[in-house]
């Protein structure tokens, strides 16, 4: 007889069936009424039913329960919550057991939401409910979140302060030398480790008090850093955040190391390595007071070439290019009031410079022809297309074939009215008058052939 009083349907399965959309079907009306009327569906109760109903209860109902489980999925908005150790205030909707961990599920058809405990959720998982990870991991994560909330109520904004610790330094407009940030980063590492340990393992010793104290120290450090920034931000040659970003992008570790050992300032040894736009404008202004003394003026920086573009009187329509880094290493220290390795003279500038633009080349070449006069040198032939020039020396009656750009760049001084020696050291070929004539004829034939082919 005692067996008669035993439950035929578990309490949680009965409640589940009553929440099931499938079980609301007319097909199960009588069984539903039975479950509604009786809180306990015992063996005795089942045995008292007509034979066919007993048979249904013993065979089909098991399947219906499984299907009822399948109507539910994890509630994505909140899958599980940890209510804290020993807390059983929240009861499982199905079995009414008090539970520390509450899992939230949602009916796929009706959208009804239920909270269930750790044991009941397993029934669902066994019947195919998918969770993003294991129940154990979900519980562990819920505990972490619960601890996070708790800590946040003890120390306001603790999560944000700890997780975004380094952001304070990132947003400073200038570079802060390591000796000023070392303590700040050390404190960050210690506090982040304490915080992580608290989330993983809970409260230990005075970890909460220590975290709170560290956050106060953090604020003191930040005030100090802000004071430093205020003092230095307008000092010339201070390294800005943009300069650092630029050097990092270019992978210039040497310059970054030098800046660190120069206390966050640009010095004569780093100036040539920094090509950040604002800094270059600043440098160009400083250099121009010196360029002015040699009838020259820097107009811009060609960042692709890493060269300064400048003009020199009298040919102010000619763009001259000079390598920025080398120039800064040989002459640029003058802006720091230091003794230069090379003096800034017209001759130095013209020797180091190049012309790249055809319009500038043409002007320079015309001026060269004019300045050469007709005494001992003459430009006999120019081909811009083929980058060729032939210079005739009257003295030796020889013809020098050169690449035009080489010739121009080697003889810039001629264009600007200096030096009386023509540099032909890079000539490709030296020809007699006869050879020169043959060369010109061959060129002409080739040109005519080309023309008839292309016609
Ligand atoms: Zn339960």
Nearest CA-CA partner of 136 in 166, 103, 178, 111: 103
Residue 452, judged by CB atoms within 10 A of its CB (0-12, 13-18, 19+), counts as exposed
**CA of residue 74 to ligand 1 center, whole Å:** 15
**CA of residue 93 to ligand 1 center, whole Å:** 7
**CA of residue 101 to ligand 1 center, whole Å:** 11
SS3 322: strand
**CA of residue 125 to ligand 1 center, whole Å:** 13
User: Is the pTM higher than 0.75?
Assistant: no
**CA of residue 82 to ligand 1 center, whole Å:** 15
**CA of residue 15 to ligand 1 center, whole Å:** 10
**CA of residue 48 to ligand 1 center, whole Å:** 28
DSSP 151-200: HHHHSTTHHHHHHTTTHHHHT-SB---HHHHHHHHHHHHHHHHHHHHHHH
**CA of residue 118 to ligand 1 center, whole Å:** 7
- What CA–CA distance (Å, rounded) separates 406 from 356? 11
Radius of gyration of the chain (CA): 43
DSSP 69-125: HHTEEE-TT--EEE--TT---SBPTTT--B-SEEEEEEETTT--EEEE-HHHHHHHH
Residue for token digits 């200096």? 418
**CA of residue 12 to ligand 1 center, whole Å:** 6
- The neighbour count for residue 163, using CB atoms within 10 Å, is 11
**CA of residue 409 to ligand 1 center, whole Å:** 89
**CA of residue 56 to ligand 1 center, whole Å:** 26
Contact in structure between 125 and 136 (CB atoms under 8 Å): no
**CA of residue 45 to ligand 1 center, whole Å:** 24
Eight-class DSSP state of 240: B
Structure confidence at residue 20 (pLDDT): 95
Long-range contacts of 287-296 (CB under 8 A, 24+ apart): 287/332, 287/335, 290/334, 290/335, 290/344, 291/344, 293/344, 294/344, 294/345, 294/346, 294/349, 295/346, 296/346, 296/349
**CA of residue 298 to ligand 1 center, whole Å:** 81
- In a structure prediction context, what are the per-residue pLDDT tens digits for the chain, which is 455 residues long? 568 899 999 999 999 999 999 999 999 999 999 999 999 999 999 999 999 999 999 999 989 999 999 999 999 888 999 998 889 999 999 999 999 999 999 999 999 999 999 999 999 999 999 999 999 999 999 999 999 998 999 999 999 999 899 899 999 999 999 999 999 999 999 999 999 999 988 877 788 999 999 999 999 999 999 999 999 999 999 999 999 999 999 999 999 999 999 999 999 999 999 999 999 999 999 999 999 999 999 999 999 999 999 999 999 999 999 999 999 999 999 999 999 999 999 999 999 999 999 999 999 999 988 887 766 788 889 888 889 999 998 888 999 999 999 999 998 988 898 766 788 888 899 999 999 999 989 888 888 888 877 76
**CA of residue 265 to ligand 1 center, whole Å:** 67
**CA of residue 382 to ligand 1 center, whole Å:** 97
Burial 229-238 (b: 16+ CB within 10 A, else e): eeebeeeebb
**CA of residue 383 to ligand 1 center, whole Å:** 94
Contact in structure between 369 and 379 (CB atoms under 8 Å): yes
**CA of residue 46 to ligand 1 center, whole Å:** 24
CA atoms within 13 A on the CB side of 321: 16
Structure confidence at residue 451 (pLDDT): 80
**CA of residue 105 to ligand 1 center, whole Å:** 12
Give the pair of three-digit tokens for residue 291: 């360029």
**CA of residue 96 to ligand 1 center, whole Å:** 6
- What CA–CA distance (Å, rounded) separates 296 from 312? 4
Strand spans (E) along 234-387: 296-302, 307-312, 315-323, 377-383
**CA of residue 91 to ligand 1 center, whole Å:** 8
End-to-end CA distance of the chain: 116
SS3 330: helix
**CA of residue 41 to ligand 1 center, whole Å:** 17
Structure confidence at residue 444 (pLDDT): 86
**CA of residue 141 to ligand 1 center, whole Å:** 21
Nearest CA-CA partner of 22 in 91, 55, 69: 69
Give the pair of three-digit tokens for residue 423: 């540099």
Nearest CA-CA partner of 237 in 284, 194, 288, 271: 271
**CA of residue 122 to ligand 1 center, whole Å:** 9
**CA of residue 119 to ligand 1 center, whole Å:** 6
């Amino acid at each position: 007889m005692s067996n008669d009083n035993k439950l035929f349907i578990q309490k949680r399965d009965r409640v589940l069936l009553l929440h099931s959309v499938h079980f609301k079907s007319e097909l199960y009306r009588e069984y539903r009424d039975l479950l509604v009327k009786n809180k306990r569906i015992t063996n005795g109760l089942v045995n008292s039913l007509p034979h066919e109903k007993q048979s249904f209860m013993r065979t089909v109902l098991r399947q219906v329960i499984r299907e009822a489980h399948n109507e539910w999925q994890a509630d994505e908005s909140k899958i599980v919550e940890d209510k804290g150790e020993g807390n059983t205030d929240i009861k499982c909707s199905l079995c009414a057991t008090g539970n520390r961990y509450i899992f939230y599920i949602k009916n796929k058809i009706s959208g009804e939401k239920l909270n269930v405990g750790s044991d009941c959720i397993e029934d669902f998982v066994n019947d195919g409910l998918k969770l993003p990870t294991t129940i154990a991991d979900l519980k562990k994560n819920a505990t972490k979140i619960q601890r996070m909330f708790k800590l946040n109520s003890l120390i306001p904004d603790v999560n944000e302060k700890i997780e975004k610790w380094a952001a304070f330094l990132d947003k400073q407009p200038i570079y802060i030398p390591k000796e000023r940030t070392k303590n700040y980063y050390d404190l960050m590492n210690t506090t982040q480790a304490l915080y992580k340990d608290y989330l993983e393992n809970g409260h230990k010793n005075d970890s909460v008090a220590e975290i709170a104290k560290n956050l106060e120290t953090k604020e003191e450090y930040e005030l100090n850093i802000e004071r430093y920034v205020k003092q230095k931000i307008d000092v010339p040659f201070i390294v800005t955040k943009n300069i650092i970003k630029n050097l990092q992008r270019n992978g210039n570790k040497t310059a970054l190391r030098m800046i660190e050992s120069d206390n966050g300032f640009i010095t004569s040894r780093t100036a040539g390595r920094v090509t950040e736009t604002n800094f270059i404008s600043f440098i160009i202004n400083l250099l121009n007071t010196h360029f002015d003394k040699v009838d020259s003026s820097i107009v811009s920086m060609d960042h692709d070439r890493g060269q300064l573009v400048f003009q020199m009187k009298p040919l102010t329509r000619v763009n001259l290019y000079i390598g920025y880094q080398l120039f800064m290493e040989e002459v640029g220290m003058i802006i720091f009031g230091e003794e230069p390795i090379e003096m800034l003279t017209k001759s130095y500038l013209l020797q180091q410079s190049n012309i790249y633009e055809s319009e500038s080349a043409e002007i320079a070449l015309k001026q060269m022809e004019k300045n050469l006069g007709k005494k001992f040198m003459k430009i006999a032939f120019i081909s811009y297309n083929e980058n060729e020039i032939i210079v005739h020396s009257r003295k030796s009656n020889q013809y020098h074939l050169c690449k035009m750009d080489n010739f121009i760049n080697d003889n810039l001084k001629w264009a600007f009215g200096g030096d009386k020696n023509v540099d032909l050291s890079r000539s490709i070929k030296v020809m007699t008058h006869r050879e020169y004539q043959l060369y010109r004829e061959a060129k002409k034939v080739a040109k005519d052939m080309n023309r008839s082919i292309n016609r």
